[in-house]
Structure 1
């Protein structure tokens, strides 16, 4: 009986963990979907809601390392001043993997369809659950 109870507890815990991981991934994908929609509407502040609003946010791109939420937003505004520059954003996700409880990395590609010329690239972002919400804490895009 004791052995059956231990097996049952293990299966519940394992099944619960798999369910939680699937829910985490769905929540992360939902954040990214909102980002696609905001960017495509040239709502850069809305796009940035997916990022951790903190000076410790890190963004690494072709211009090097940017630290902080506000500086990242300012850089986006400078580089994408109009709808013609921001275009329509689509993500293709290649992998979402748990780093540890409460954090995941996401690898994929981005595609910007724009009248001023398309822009495509790859990214690796790290999501962390902060105050019950999934936020990007680090982004490397090129």
Structure 2
């Protein structure tokens, strides 16, 4: 009986350890990358928390809110030529809890005349059973 109980506990611990949602979080970024490359900024923004408390930091600018961030993307990337092709490279997904993670990586745009690139650090949280970006710090 003890051996059977111990086996069940070990199985539960192993299952819990393998249930880390890093694949779900990576999928959020893959979906964003695909939406960007289709030229669909509205779909791209689905990876962000649709809330006025969502933060986006880039350069010397602080942006608060999903709507303001979407408007800024549409202003700064008005057409397919400026959007280019986006490539994310995730360097690390660090789980902070069952409901939060830090994602660190690189981004690169490939456009006809240039190839801007940079780094990002994201706070991704599970809200209403969805992983969403609640804080984005992106730089060149």
Does structure 1 residue 80 correspond to structure 2 residue 84?
A: no
In the other structure, the counterpart of 2:30 is 33
Superposed displacement of residue 48, structure 1: 0.2
How far apart are the structure 1 equivalents of 2:89 and 2:8? Answer: 37
How far apart are the structure 2 equivalents of 1:57 and 1:43? Answer: 20
Does structure 1 residue 19 correspond to structure 2 residue 15?
A: no
Q: Calculate the aligned-residue CA RMSD, in Å.
A: 1.4
Unaligned runs of at least 5 residues, structure 2: none
With the length of structure 2 as denominator, give the TM-score of the two structures. 0.92
Does structure 1 residue 43 correspond to structure 2 residue 54?
A: no
8 Å CA contact 1:85–1:116 kept in 2: the answer is no
1:60 aligns to what SS in structure 2? Answer: strand
Q: How big is each residue's C-alpha offset from its partner over 1:47-104, in whole Å with a ceiling of 9 and x where there is no partner?
A: 0000000001011111421100001111111111111111000111100010111111
How far apart are the structure 2 equivalents of 1:126 and 1:107? Answer: 9
Q: Quick one: which of 41, 54, 71 aligns to 1:57?
A: 54
Superposed displacement of residue 9, structure 1: 4.6
Q: Quick one: which of 83, 100, 105 aligns to 1:103?
A: 100
